[in-house]
Structure 1
Amino acid sequence: MSPKWSTMLVAAFCAMSEVPQALAAAYLTIDSAGLARTALVIEHAPLKLARRPLVIVLHGENGNGARVRHRLRLESITHSAKPIFLYPDAIHGHWSDAVGAAATRDVAMLRDMTATLERRGLVNSRLIFLVGDSTGGAMAIRAVCAGLGPIAGLATIDTTMPADLAATCAPPKPLAYIAIATGHSQATASPAALAFFAKSDGCAAGPSPAPLVVSDPRNRDVAYVERFSGCKAPVEQVRIIHDGKATSAKIGASDEGASSRAEKMNDAAHLVWAFLKKLGA
């Protein structure tokens, strides 16, 4: 089955989200391992640009590409016409969280979708980034370990590294990694993932915590960034610490009427983009 595209214009999105150009959204359907796999593709119009960075965003449990796009709203943060965003859909909303045929199938799908965009002359293969929310983060780590790539950077939100990967994962080169934790009492997003990438990237010392941003004097919440030193590629985590009253650290947040979870995801999205932007996204 050849790739199929179903295109729609996203009306008035530019004015709502301060994106400098109109956005074009298309649903991509490909045949991968004998299955029809789908993804939402977002790129700026006009499309007569050189090959661009690709940001692949994987949704969490019981989700889909359109839902995680709405949760993170990355396009409204980037203020750039450069990146293409790819939001794949897991089969029945679930990524495989264990080694086996299902995980291999999902990694193959990501590889096939990336290759499809590369063949169309859209993607710079040296600037491919992975972002995963919750179980999507675990899937992103598994894809990196399975040789999807080259990957220029990885970001996970509230993610636990699959247990089997700590002993088997062997990235082909040092990989820039950020782990973000949004929970009230989470000490880290994924101790195993941080320890693994710090070792893989040859980091010399453990992370040093420091306050990152407190943008609202009425909000006592603090976000802490912890960066490993001496790494061949940056490895860091950000913890959003809550005092039990305020709803978020408000890193870049502007919608004070948003729910607590929506604001935390907004914080996380800003942190993800700040990290990826430094890497060339």
Structure 2
Amino acid sequence: MIAITGATGQLGQFVIKHLLKRTSAHNIVALARNVDKAAAFTAQGIEVRQADYTQPQTLVTALQGVTKLLLISSSEVGKRAIQHKNVIDAAKEAGVELIAYTSLLKADSSPLALAEEHIETEAYLKQVNIPYVLLRNGWYTENYLASMAPAIETGQFIGAAQDGKISSSAREDYAEAAAAVLTSTAPQAGKVYELAGDESYTLTELAALISEASGKPVTYHNLAEADFIKALEGAGLPTPLAAMLANSDNGASQGGLFDDSHTLSALIGHPTTPLKELVFKH
């Protein structure tokens, strides 16, 4: 059986969508903190089990009979490492044969502060000696598309990435890659996949696409990281989230979100979703 943590989250739902194209619903276990939110999975014949990253006692029970586990990284930045450790320990105890972990693009050399907890988790996987495969996901294009509406309203797309190239892709592309790895008949233990979109762009180029899609003038305005944090806070974002986004943009200016290996498209068997398509659809 294949189990997915965070199954009701945005990435988890897409993973299950693509798993259903590759295997039977009876071979899938959806792990969710709130099982009430997973009713749609039950209706599809998928077994739903309660599992909480912060409650280790729920995890061993939830992972009984599971052979492959997709550990989707926690959304709670700053608490991720211990939460991931809880899942890994439970998987080891339950006899899980392979963990696929959603890490960060080039985590071991990334300038993004987000990499720290991913590096720690990768090290722990190695330490506990459980077979694992790393899905080092690049940026989700949706992270930037969330700023489209205010950009169109103000005529400015703000950021701190300077002219850094960003190789993002749709969240669903990364989910499809996870499904491909989890259902592959080829050995996956020990593999490291650096996953990113086929095309790369600057935020200036993204702003131009937003302008084209909206029919309104939108230009990119680069800010210092500290000023970008203040701007995001002013828009209502909590300080930790604002700091994380600004730091990630700064990391992009240093090449932290660029990759031209085309590993993602090779894994899913088709080109990644074009940026223009996502912008015009949003």
Relative contact order, CA 8 A, sep 6+: which one is greater? Answer: 2
Larger radius of gyration: 2
Tell me, yes or no, whether TM beats 0.5. Answer: no
TM-score tier (shorter): 0.3 to 0.5
TM-score (norm 1): 0.32
Normalized per residue, which structure has more strand? 1
Normalized per residue, which structure has more helix? 2
